[in-house]
Chain A
Amino acid sequence: MNSPRFVSLLVEGTIDELVLRKTIATYTALTVATCYGKKGVADIKKRIANYHAAAVAKPHPLFICLIDLDAAECAVQLRQELLPNPISNSFIFRIAVTEVESWLLADREGIAKFIGAPVNKVPESPDKCLNPKTEIVNLARKYAKEKLKRDLVPAERSSAPVGKGYSTQIIRFIQEQWTPEAAEENSPSFAKTIKALRRLSE
């Protein structure tokens, strides 16, 4: 029981990885061994069955997989599409509703302070935002100071949904300001993930 328990992560990208790492460090005594994936959601969808099969064959280390719900209609259905039923106990599959940025918005005070927006302008139920990235970008467009705005908001005729420095700034926010305890209160999908992680630590 005293030896550290290892988990491996399977995520879409760096932002998801950092959110998961910070959450694990905040709520559990687990140690992250390796982070797999990081090549987008399509890649995870293609390969998740293989990772799951490995978890079935060998229950250690545990796997924690996080993907965004995105445009999928419902989390239960998405899970059924991707994984066999039942899912192995050593494979923790979590879906961020709507995407991991919802969990960032859920720390309303944190994100408001980061962008420089009034707290009451941050959505109260970020899980219900259809496009939380755009929500962050729009807040920045309206309230952020020049330099931050230039990083977060796409240029006028750009086809990119976010600005060129978006990842950099969001990584900085996660590492320096984002508080999982605050986010837990406003995002049911994040609260459920924390519950699942806590069970692992028991």
Chain B
Amino acid sequence: MKFTKIHLQNWKNFQEVEVDLPERAFLIGPNASGKSNFLDVFRFLRDISTPGGIQQAVQDRGGISKLRCLHARNPSDIVIRVDLADDQDHWSYSVVFSQQGKLPRQGAALVKKEVVIHNSEVVLNRPDKDDKDDERLLEQTALEQISRNRSFRPIVDHFQQVSYLHLVPQMIRGGKGMSSESNFPDVYGGRFLEIVASTTEAKRKRYLKKIEEVLKIAVPQLTALKLTTDKGGVPHLEATYEHWRAQGASQDESQFSDGTLRLIGLLWMLQDGAGLVLIEEPELSLHQAIVRQLAPFIHRAQTRSKTTRQAFISTHSVDLLSDPGIGAEEILLFDPTAAGTTITVGGAFQDLRDLMAQGLTAAEVALPRTHPADAAQMSLFAL
């Protein structure tokens, strides 16, 4: 199953956007144009499909006021609609929500509409009779209510499988080997080692073996990678390096370089799971030669199994976007305007398509479109 289209209203940077979603998308745009906030919609869909549901998902993001677009006319509802498809079926899921204005539940998220369409049949249309009988039901999405989501379980499963990793090496090292400080289990990879440790042994060995193979290319002296547990039961990643010493030397994650840790996280995530994978700036801390291989590498990871996995990648990297296999239709351009950020598929720009047809790369023709007009001015500021 894949997300084929998304429509947003009043979500963070976006007053109203609608965009077709390719199997692999590269999100490019200036800083703070909303690339991360766009990826967050898919994490939000996952969160509202899991225990805790919409209330937890909204609370983790600082409440409705933090989610609502700054450009929105108050008070306005937040609208998320996604279209999905697999070989046989088409689905559309939409949710409209706002916050409860009345005491005693003031501030709680409130579902105003929720609709699921399966092929052209409406299988859910809220508010329905149950909601009228018990208004508290509108504090949950139907996605999070097992008793109500039976007729559209495939999309619930698909939402739940969304995976995201933005690894911040400092948080993995964290001194203790793991960290649960963040509300979001996935943000910044705080729980990365926990995830590795809780994977079944056979799977973990298989994943680590693959990672080891790639790491050997990126980190020339590395010879082996495994998971160990210290006396306190805390999991650690341990790598053996071939050094001048005959026995080699091993290090745990607290001694890994930022680049090594980020690469391990990325490689793990690409192997783990089957749903949409969201990747933030995979280029960080990695050598140019490795970054240049990321786009084809991600493609191979996506197509590993019979069904192609969808991947959305935010990036500023010339090297990553220099891969000739990246098409204009895979580029999502984020353009911040006075009325919120707009998103345009690169393929919609004729000149961009023309230039790429002549062998120029996305890095050469799409990135320049995202340059802030006055970037040169930056050097004029004396700090």
Contacts and interface: CB of A to CB of B under 8 A. Distances in A.
Contacts of B371: 35
B380 A171 contact: yes
Interface size band for A? 20 to 34
Contact of A36 (B350, B358, B364): B364
Given A34-B369, A57-B358, A168 B350 contact: no
Given A34-B368, A34-B369, A36-B365, A58 B380 contact: no
B253 to A, nearest CB: 36
A51 B351 contact: no
A60 B358 CA distance: 15
Contacts of B355: 50-51, 54
Interface in A20-71: 33-39, 47, 50-51, 53-54, 57-58, 60-61
A68 to B, nearest CB: 18
B298 interface: no
A36 B368 contact: yes
Contacts of A89: none
Majority DSSP secondary structure for residues of B touching A:
helix
A14 interface: yes
Contacts of A167: 379
B359 interface: yes
A8 interface: yes
B217 interface: no
B319 to A, nearest CB: 11
Contact of B376 (A14, A36, A37, A60): A14
B358 A54 contact: yes
A172 B378 CA distance: 10
A8 B357 CA distance: 17
A146 B337 CA distance: 41
A60 B377 CA distance: 29
B21 to A, nearest CB: 24
A38 B360 contact: no
Most buried by A among B351, B354, B369: B351
Given A54-B355, A57-B354, A172 B369 contact: no
B380 A51 contact: no
Interface in B330-361: 350-351, 354-355, 357-360
Contact of A57 (B357, B364, B377): B357
A25 to B, nearest CB: 13
Given A58-B354, A168-B379, A35 B359 contact: no
Contact of A47 (B357, B360, B379): B360
A161 B368 CA distance: 28
Given A34-B365, A36-B368, A175-B380, 7 more contacts: A8-B351, A14-B376, A17-B376, A34-B368, A57-B358, A168-B379, A175-B376
Interface of A: 8, 14, 17-18, 33-39, 47, 50-51, 53-54, 57-58, 60-61, 167-168, 171-172, 175
22 contacts: A8-B351, A35-B368, A35-B371, A36-B365, A37-B364, A37-B368, A38-B368, A39-B318, A47-B360, A50-B360, A53-B359, A54-B351, A54-B355, A58-B351, A60-B351, A167-B379, A171-B376, A171-B377, A172-B380, A175-B376, A175-B377, A175-B380
